[in-house]
Each structure stands twice: as C-alpha cells, then as structure tokens.
Structure 1
C-alpha cells in the first residue's frame, strides 16, 4: 500500500533530500537502526563503533525523558530509503496553480513523497532516539524484554521530524553516516548543566550562582571543568554539580526528574557551601585573595578535585551522625590542607607534583579527612583505610594520621 508524505525537497551537494514528519508509531515500526544496514561486513572499526547502540543510555536517559516530559522534543532523524525503486516526488505545483507567480516559485520545493510499500529504511542519524521512542511507546527493548513499566503508548500518535535520503550507493551512504557521526560534537558538561531543566542536580548547581546566591558569576567557571594556573575563578560549575550529587546521594533524587520540593534539596547543598565559604579558613583566604590563581596552588582544596574530596569528607561525616557544621568545620580547619603536606603526597599528588583527578584518590583523601575529624569508623573500615593508605604510599609500616582535636 502506498504512503503519501507531504514534504519539502532540497539538495545539498549531490544529495537530494526530503523533509517531512512521521507518526512515532510508524517510525518505530518501519525504520530500522543503523546496526541493521546490509553489507555490514565491510564496515571499518570506526564505523562499527558509530553504529553500536548504547542501550544503557537509551533506557536510563532518553526514554524516561520522552515518557516524563510533556515538552519533549528532539531534532530530525536522517533516514536512508535503502531500496528506493518506485519512490516518487510529486511537486505541489503540478496540482496547485496560483495567480501570483511569486507564490508559484516559492511553492516549487513543496510536494508529496510517495512510498509504494516494501521500502527498507534505516536511521543514519538518530538511532538512539529511534530506539528510545520504541522503549517509551512499548516499554520493551531490543530483546522484547519489558524494561519500562511506565511507558506511554499515546506517543505513537505524535509527529517526529524526518529527513529522507534515497540510497544511491552503499559507498555514499556509508560516507554520509560516517561524517554525520564523526563530526557530531556533544555539548559540554557545563552547557548541559546550564540548560538542563529535568536534572535536579544541574538546577541546584546553577542556582548557586548569581548576585544573590552563594557564588557570584565571576567566581565560577562554567565553560570548563578545570581551573588553569591563570584562571581566577574559585570553582567550576561541574564541581558544584558533582558536589550536589555527593551531598544528596542518600536521597531518592533522580537525574531525570525534578521534584516539586527541589528547594529543600537546594537548601541542604547551599547550606554546606555557605558555611564553608564563611568559616573554612582556606576557602575564606581563597575567596578574599586578589591572586586566587596563585594561592590555589598552595592548597589541595584550591583544586576542583580537592573541593570534591572535602565535600565527600563532609558527607561521610554526616552519614556517620556528625551534623554540627560549626564543630565539623572547626576540626577541618585544623587539618593541614597544604599541597606540600606529607599526607596528600601519593594520595592526591604524583611525585612530579601533578594532582590526581581520579575518583579513587579523591575518595581516599575524603576518608582520611573524615578519620582525622574523629568519624567513628568500624574496625573493618579502619583496616581497609589503613591498607589503602599504605598501598598508595608504598609503606606497609605506615600508620594513619593522627586525629585533630
């Protein structure tokens, strides 16, 4: 049975294309993903990686967005009509005559794309969105396993923008597929935090920046997740984001769902930062320095990873029943946070002085700080901490640092 799609025809380079819409239900039924394109045996390693579907991302991020956000929207899918014999374009002008020649000229790209049935169609760009629609509409993944109980079959009737391309040759389609994926540049972490409206951690992080917030705009680098030696920001928006995750990890917050009482969570996070920048001596010194970029090198907690280690330590304290922030900060002030302090060598700094930015080092530093402010670890926790400390230091006779008083 033939299908008629109202569309606009265009040409870019040597490629003719047709812009239209398909109902989401028809899209998931009729269009296949790139991993099902014939002649896959000839694909390069790079091309095979590009067509590999990431079902974890589909199920945890894109499908929930489609189901839960009524303002859902995404850009056009590019679809290859593989066996395009019989595909026709009928110009609107053949059935439309206007008295105004200007209208006739402007209408010339518009018309109807006629598919006579039996076409095989593949998503050159948008295969993750295609499969996310499948999960959102049916609740089932590629193995027909129910993975989303809250699926919404009404999405079937919604319109999805599609760009059709005729399959002139496998070589040409492979080239288009390769370039689309190769030159696609994902948005930066900072951009995502600034623009996200469905990630509560992103909303909390950016809400902490502003004239009446915890940090002024010139104190936070939102363009990058690192602070160079010449950078005069105090922290990064990525650091604020990750610290929000750390401080709220015992809650039920999801990255894809903003609760109505988000201010309650914001107050928990901002309260910790407000206390630190007013009472934690290294932060006070950094915030009041006119040469913060130079002073930053003197402190472990002048670096984003060091700040995350500090917040991790505070959360460990909270999880062990320490809630008095004034007393906790008083003890944290007694720890030697100097980048030259022996305790942080090998733990957070390489022998050449380069800071370690990995999560393992950060968590070890946090546990050491928590231990020094008198967190009551179990015997097993202390034994593990001592073993990790000795291993990273390369000294099996080493003892844990003394608690502060």
Structure 2
C-alpha cells in the first residue's frame, strides 16, 4: 500500500513495542493488506528473512473460508498487521486540541489517528484468515468459496492490531512467540523463526548462500529451492533435498555440546559467541560434505539424490534423517580427545557399507523387517557403532566391549548372563590393536 491512510485507533504499548488497535472492514483488509509471501522481495529473500510459513491452502479452502462464508455466528480474534517500511505518525485526540470533556482527558492521549504513508501492510499473524477472506470476497478468485453469508462478509468489522516494522529480528521474534503460544508451531517453524535459540540461528545460517548448505536444487515447479527441507520435518522419496532443517539443528547441538556449549531456546547468545559457534559448526559441516564422496556426488548433481536415497543403493543411509544424526554422533565420538582428526574420520567413513540392506545396521538403524528404526536408542547405538567402525584402532578394549554389549542387547541377547555369547561386532575400517601390543610398542 503506497497511498496515505488515516485510521482511527487506540494506542498501546507492551514492553518496548508500540501498537495501535483499530478496525477495518473485511473488504478493506483484503484489498489493502498483503500476505508476506506476496512481497515483491519474497522470492529473493533468504531463509533468514522470510517471516512467515507458507499457507495451507487446502485447510483454508476446506475449513476456514466455508466457516466465514456460511456462519452467521462467525468470529475470530484480532489479526496483527505489520506496517512495513514507510512513515507512521500517531496523533492523539488531546494533541489535536479538541474540546474534550474533563472526564475523558486521561484517556485522550491514547485515542487518535494513525497516519500511514508509503508503507506496505503485511499480515504478520492472521495470514490464513486473510486468504480465507479473499476466497470469500474476491469475485474472480481461483478458489472462490460461496455461502449463505457471503454477501455480508465484506462489511464485517475485523479487529486489527498494527505494529511498526523495526527490524527483521524483532518482527521474527514477535511472530514466533505469538504463534508458539497461540497454537503449537511445528519444529521446523520454530527453528526458522526463533531469534532466541542460538542453535536455530546457527542452523539457519548454514543455509545461507555461500554457507555449507546454501546449495540449491530444482523444485517441483522448476524453481530453485534450498537443498535443505525447512518446511517439513520429513523428506519424500522423490525429493532432491539432502536433509531437513530439523537434522541440521540436531547436528548443531551435537557439535556445540562436544565443545561444552549448551544453548537454551530462550536466551540469545552474544553476536561474538554466535560467530564463534558458527565457525565451529561451519568447519565441521564443510569437512563432512567435502570428505564424503557420496555427498560430493550428490551436490555435483542434485537430481541423483532421490536415486541415491533408495533402500537398495550403496549409500542410502547417508541420505536418510536418522542415520545422518547417527553419523554426526559417530564422527564426534571417534574424534573426541584428538584420537582421530575429523578429516581422517570422514575419510574412513567413505569405506563403510552404508546400504540399508547391510547386516551391520540390523537392529541398530534398521529394523529386522527392513524399515528405518525410529527410537532415540537408534541414534545413540548407531552413533557408537559408527564410531567403532571408524576408529576401533583408537579405542580401548573396555570401550569396544561396552559397544559389543549394547550391540548384542539390541539383538535381544541377555548380556547379564555370563554364559551367553555376545554378538560379534561388524568388521571395522581398521582393526583394533590389543592392549598387550599397544603396551609393547
């Protein structure tokens, strides 16, 4: 919206955020307020700048719009509209020197008019309701929804709270908190929008252009998309995405925890700390992507990823979410206390059999029926087994024995029975050396 608008409103302030509460007719709202995805800059924005989730058109068309168009008792709460850029001026009734009775003097400072010039009005909270109103009100809408109340809806008063855009960080934080407390947001939504969770901030930065995961793939509409799936927590079989933002987030936590850094979700680290933490994580991811040949092949030609992910392929596990987390756990364990360099550990990982059909992973990452395991235990045991396969020659006999006990337990072996023979561990990349031999060297 580029023209000047004057809107009667009530001014308020919560924390350090000024807001203005007003009403707009549904027709005005539809014609003057835009969804964030309709911003001209939207297609060129990085994930760091996108302030809203993509709308669920199916839910809007089948649930929200029919309710608005067909119910006499229709009602919903206030929407929050972002005054994006431009000039905003609030003038109170008292400042206008109107003849106000004494009884109203105390509240006259809060009542007045909001002048908005050269701004875009963007729906910060209420995008689904806005798009539903469009389906009901706009006569030529592609998803037009009819109902007995459709003719009345344009004149409905909609409660609107206006907030002036100050920065992407503040806007994203407001969006995240409003949606988190009003309705549970998905894990990926929280990672994308949180400005207080340091792990989420670092995970997002890994997806920026020039970052380790800033690669692009050809989407379903031949458009370039991020190689990391950040809209959903899962990847479809045909997807050319390498991994999910949820997996990336978990790897950030693992890498930082190994450096004794534990970041909460409600307290943003300093910019200096974030920069240092990002460098650690960036370096780790770069070494993994550069050192694992299957990932190099995939990044060289992302169209191969769906084929490489298939269960019968030699590196299929490297393209599935749970094994990816186990991989990072294994690499971290194998390199702890400088027993192996990360580059050497990744180099050795290239020689592991990563096929889902490999018996190495049965009852660990893969169920006996051939499907992916889902329990947290699979992450943990999978990571330990990977660490053993990579760095058995750097482990003590006690460490190997403990992994063998856990591996046997996963097969249902009663490890507390001294007469029961434990399951043999798979053959590692480099055979371990006995303590006696180590002592003689």
Contact 1:194/1:202 (8 A) holds in 2: yes
Give the drift of 1:229.
0.9
Deviation at 1:234, TM superposition (A): 0.4
Q: Distance in 1 between matches of 2:354 and 2:186?
A: 31
Across the aligned residues of Structure 1 and Structure 2, the Cα RMSD in angstroms comes to 3.5
Is residue 403 of structure 2 the alignment partner of residue 385 of structure 1?
yes
CA contact (8 A) 2:230 2:244 kept: yes
Q: Select the residue among 241, 244, 247 that pairs with 1:236.
A: 244
Which residue among 284, 296, 315 is the counterpart of 2:332?
Answer: 315
Q: 2:365 aligns with which of 338, 348, 354?
A: 348
Instruction: Return the alpha-carbon distance in structure 2 between the equivalents of residues 324 and 354 of structure 1.
Output: 33
Cα displacement (A) at 1:384: 2.4
1:400 and 2:425 aligned? yes
Structure 1: where are the runs of 5+ without partners?
1-17, 24-74, 77-91, 100-106, 112-160, 162-180
The residue matched to 2:391 in structure 1 has which SS?
coil
Conserved 8 A contact 1:286-1:302: no
Equivalent in the alignment of 1:88? none
Distance 1:323 1:374, change over 3 A: closer
Paired residue secondary structure (2:338): coil
CA distance, structure 2, for counterparts of residue 190 and residue 252 of structure 1: 22
State whether residues 289 and 295 of structure 2, in contact with CA within 8 Å, keep that contact through their aligned partners in structure 1: yes
- Contact 2:192–2:200 under 8 Å retained in 1: yes
Structure 2 counterpart SS, 1:211: coil
Partner of 2:268: 257
Runs of 4+ in 1 over 4 A off after TM superposition: 18-23, 96-99
Report the Cα distance in structure 1 between the residues aligned to 2:358 and 2:342, rounded to whole angstroms. Answer: 25
Displacement, 1:399?
0.9
Secondary structure at the residue paired with 1:335? coil
Q: How does 1:211-222 map to 2 (within 5 A)?
A: 211-215=209-213, 216-217=215-216, 218-222=226-230
Deviation at 1:184, TM superposition (A): 4.3
SS of the aligned residue for 2:335 comes to helix
Distance 2:253 2:385 in 1: 20
Matches within 5 A, 1:11-50: none
CA distance in 2, matches of 1:22, 1:237: 32
Normalization by structure 1: what TM-score?
0.54
Q: 2:304 aligns with which of 291, 315, 320?
A: 291
Aligned to 2:371, what secondary structure does the other structure show? coil
In the alignment of these two chains, the number of paired residues is 247
3-state SS of 1:264 partner: helix
Offset of residue 254 of structure 1: 2.2
| Kept in 2: contact 1:239–1:308 (CA 8 A) | yes
Spell out the pairing of 1:120-139 with structure 2 (5 A cutoff).
none
Q: Tell me the SS of whatever aligns to 1:291.
A: helix
Distance 1:364 1:211, change over 3 A: same
Q: How far did 1:241 drift?
A: 0.8
Which residue matches 1:226? 234
Shift of 1:19: 11
Asked whether 1:324 is paired with 2:341, we answer yes
Alignment counterpart, residue 191 of structure 1, candidates 177, 186, 189: 189
Give me the whole-angstrom Cα distance separating, in 1, the residues matched to 2:411 and 2:211: 40
Greater mean deviation of Cα atoms: 273-282 or 319-328 = 319-328
User: Is the 1:200–1:253 Cα contact (8 Å) retained in structure 2?
Assistant: no
Q: Which residue of 2 aligns with 1:367?
A: 384
Report if aligned partners of 1:190, 1:237 keep a CA contact under 8 Å in 2: yes
Report if aligned partners of 1:232, 1:291 keep a CA contact under 8 Å in 2: yes
Query: Aligned partners of 2:242 and 2:13: how far apart in 1?
Result: 47
- Return the offset for 1:268: 1.3
Deviation of the 1:97 alpha carbon = 7.6
1:306 aligned residue: 323
Aligned to 2:198: 200
Which residue in 2 is equivalent to 1:146?
none
Greater shift in the superposed pair: 249-258 or 341-350: 249-258
Contact 1:202–1:241 under 8 Å retained in 2: yes
Instruction: Note the alpha carbon deviations across 1:255-300, whole angstroms, 9 max, x for none.
Output: 2231323222211111121122222022223333413123113311
CA contact (8 A) 1:286 1:296 kept: no
Deviates more, 1:250-259 or 1:235-244: 250-259
- Paired with 1:269 and 1:401, the residues of 2 have a C-alpha distance of 30
